[in-house]
Every structure is written in C-alpha cells, then in structure tokens.
Amino acid sequence: MDLVLFDLDNTLLDGDSDFEWAQFLIAVGVLDKEVYEARNLDFYDQYKAGTLDIHEFLDFQLAPLARHPRAQLDAWHAEFMRERILPMIGRPARALVDRHLGSGALVAIVTATNSFVTGPIAREFGIPHLVATVPAQEDGCFTGKPRGLPAFKAGKIARVDAWLEGLGLYMGSFDKRWFYSDSHNDLPLLEQVDAPIAVDPDPTLESVATERGWPVISLRSTEQ
C-alpha cells in the first residue's frame, strides 16, 4: 500500500483557503476591512517569503472563530465553500486525487490551514484523512488558540507521524510515500518521502525540484 499526502493551498486548490477565509469574512462584514485586510496580505507575503511566525499568524486567524457561535460559523463556511473554494478546484486536481484513492492508497491532506476551514474541503475531494492545524475548543466553542503543534514546516512531519501512530502505522509501513506540494515551506516533509512532487511550485521549490530531479507538474490545466 502507498501513502499519498497532499498539501492543500495552491496545490490541490488554485488559491489559498487560509487567505481567502479572512478575505471572505471581510467581504461579508464580519471583520473590519481597514483593520484586517492589510494584516492578512502581510501575513500571506510572509508565508510566501518563508518568514511567517506561525503562532503570530494563528492568533490573527483563529481569533474570529472565538467570537461567534458555531452554527453561525458553519453557515458562513457553507457560503465560503460555494463562493470561494469550489471555483478553486479544477478537474485535474480531482482526477489526481481520484486516481490515488482508486489505487487503494492511504490518502490525506496535510495542511497548516486550520481544520475548521479545511475539513469541508477535504470532504469535497472525498479524502478521508486530514492532518491540519487544530483550533482548540471548549464546550463546543472555539477558544481562538491552536491545540498542539501547528502543521507547519517541520511540524507537518510530527503531525503526520502522530496520525500514522494512531493508525498503528509509520512511514516505513508503505511501499511508496508520495507528497504533493507547491511550497518551499514544505521542504522538510518533501525530503521525508520517496516520491516528492512539486505542483505549480513557488520559485524556491521549483529551483530545488529541478536541482534534485523531482517531478514538477501543474494542476491548473486540463491537459494534466
């Protein structure tokens, strides 16, 4: 059996769900545009540059979850899925996921974006497992803080290892281990698998992939 791991943002999605969630909340008037838009853009630029302080970002990103009832958050998320996420999912991404699922592989999305935002997206793809940053809850309400280690950079390795341990497995349990990602932030996990695939990569990852002979593919074209 193979292990197949997918990054989500700018990999399976033609866009970034974390960034778009904040932009959506601004658009519907939940967050103040003047206060939040510049910070959201700044954090996104830091992520692309590889300088993001994940804990500072999570303080920003998770705080709105603590201010509203879960039913209201779920209603906003359903609208967010329709308006922002479904247009980001192309046929090539769906086909690639379906091919791996059909092969009998153990398939998961591994993403730094929190599980409230990404859980419905994983279900839309039919992917049964999600390894994501977890927003903490108390009595069914979000606290505005993460629970445990964020699934970011080397944290993705730790979170994947813990997930596999919970299934009675480890990285060595598989015939082949795949990881698809667009981002140089994912180099720690890409270096842990025997089939690293660069998907529409950022310039740094593209350079590393070319140097190391890793496949580079695009999910933005129906030709894939």
Which positions are catalytic? Answer: 7, 9
Q: Report how far apart, in Å, the C-alpha atoms of 133 and of each of 103, 105, 108, 151 are.
A: 27, 23, 14, 5
Give CA–CA dist 41/33, Å, rounded: 12
Among the residues of the chain, which ranges form H helices? 17-27, 33-49, 54-62, 70-80, 91-102, 115-125, 154-166, 187-190, 203-212
DSSP assignment string, 67-100: GS-HHHHHHHHHHHIIIIIGGGB-HHHHHHHHHH
Give CA–CA dist 64/114, Å, rounded: 13
Q: Whose CA is closest to 8, among 102, 87, 114?
A: 114
Rounded to the nearest 10 degrees, the angle between the axes of helix 17-27 and helix 54-62 is: 30
Give CA–CA dist 224/207, Å, rounded: 21
Give CA–CA dist 192/115, Å, rounded: 23
